Amino acid sequence: MTTDSVHAGGDPRRLLSEVHALAHRVRLDQRVTFFALLVLALVTFLAIPVDWLSLRADCGSPSSWVEVGENSRACHIHRQGAMFYWPPALLLAYGAIGWYAVRTARARGLGTRVLPYALTGVGLTVLFTAVWLWARWYLSAHPVPTEPFPEWVMVLDRLVAPAGTIGVALLVLARLERNVALLVFTLGYLALVLLPLNDLVHLHWGYGDIYGAFLPQQIFQGLVLLLGGIGFAIARRRQR
Amino acid sequence: MTAAAGTPEAHPVTGLDDVVHQRVRLGILTITHEARRVEFGYLRTQLALTAGNLSQHLGVLETAGLVEVEKGYAGKRGRTWITLTAAGDTALAEEIGRLKQLIARVETTDRTSATEER
């Protein structure tokens, strides 16, 4: 850049291209993509032992089994640990991401644009906690459904579960950072979250294969976030 | 300032604002718009300017009411933060709109000349 004034005889194309390059530079300097993904991967991995240790399956008595559809039965599973783990863990994660973004941006001499992302994350955390509490109240006040839920209900259920809300909030981050790579990554992650992976990969882990019903999905989701975080960190180092 | 174009037929150049239509000042507005709030040092580095030169341009923009300059401290070090005003936001959007119009007009003229030459 020079101090020359650009008048009608100047090149508007070059001026506009410089404007775009400067805007892009600022956005790159403001991005905290890798940190957000690494924190969310950590939270996802920490959920695995919490789930493992707190999962309770009541399949010991004939009365605990219910008929589900034709020739199929299910027993009661309690995931109390997940209920107490995810809301505070995600609130802390979004707090940490917001704090890191503000600290990093200030150190570089910039404002930050991550606040709407952190607020969306907090809002979605409150939403899924409310949905969980409502489902708990509903199931305690009504008989256990004997027919499987329609597929759209299951997709919605996965979307408002912690992993789903992480993906939705990441879409907001991709928009705020104008980050196409993060958008593509998040769409892939959401596809993984919404896919009934347990129907495809069901490991025979734990009593009645119950652990095998939850763990593969959590491991895959954590791995995807971790690899994404590492990938974005490497890309950032190359760009700087 | 140049008078804004009042009719659709007016050439986009007639709507250009001399305060904004200057490479450094346009750069300052662009960075400040993207960053929401930017420190003097970041602007100086990105625009490759001396402190005195940058201060001059910031003075012009501040006088025109397009940016706000706020001085403070980070620890013992003095810091100067720049934010875009609503008028600055509008001026930047209008300038970019005019530049796009200019490019479109130049391209149309080029195409017409090429056709006439054939």
Q: What is the pLDDT of residues A212-239, one digit of tens each?
A: 667 788 888 999 999 999 999 999 888 7
- Alpha-carbon distance A156 to A165, whole Å? 11
Using a CB–CB cutoff of 8 Å, tell me whether A30 touches chain B.
Answer: yes
Q: How many other CB atoms are there within 10 angstroms of residue A109's CB atom?
A: 23
Q: Identify which of B30, B74, B103 has the shortest CB distance to residue A12.
A: B103
Type of residue at B60: V
H or E, element range at A157:
helix A151-159
Sheet arrangement for strand B37-39: B37-39, B77-84, B67-74
Q: What is the pLDDT of residues A92-137, one digit of tens each?
A: 999 999 999 999 998 899 998 888 999 999 999 999 999 888 888 8
Residue of B nearest to A111 (CA): B37
Q: Identify which of A12, A108, A113 has the shortest CB distance to residue B42.
A: A108
- The residue extents of the domains of chain B are 17-113
What is the reported pLDDT for B107? 74
Q: What is the pLDDT of residues A167-203, one digit of tens each?
A: 999 999 999 999 999 999 999 999 999 887 666 666 6
Which CATH code for domain B17-113?
1.10.10.10
Q: Per-residue pLDDT for A68 more than 80?
A: no
Q: What is the pLDDT of residues A3-46, one digit of tens each?
A: 444 444 458 888 899 999 999 999 999 999 999 999 999 999 99
Strands (E), chain B: 37-39, 67-74, 77-84
Using a CB–CB cutoff of 8 Å, tell me whether A103 touches chain B.
Answer: no
Single pTM value for the model: 0.79
Q: List C-alpha distances in Å: B80 to A194, B16, B47, B65.
A: 47, 29, 16, 17
What is the reported pLDDT for B17? 73
What is the reported pLDDT for A40? 97
What is the reported pLDDT for A33? 94
Task: Say if the Cβ atoms of B47 and A111 lie within 8 Å.
Answer: no
**Tens digit of pLDDT at every position of chain B (118 positions):** 444 444 555 665 666 677 888 889 999 999 999 998 999 999 999 999 999 999 999 999 999 999 999 998 877 788 899 999 999 999 999 999 988 888 887 777 766 766 666 6
- At A113, list the tokens: 């644009």
- Alpha-carbon distance B82 to B73, whole Å? 14
3-state secondary structure of B77: strand
What is the reported pLDDT for B38? 95
Beta-sheet pairing, A73-79 with A65-67 = antiparallel
Closest to A132 (Cα-Cα) out of A94, A96, A78: A78
- ipTM of model: 0.78
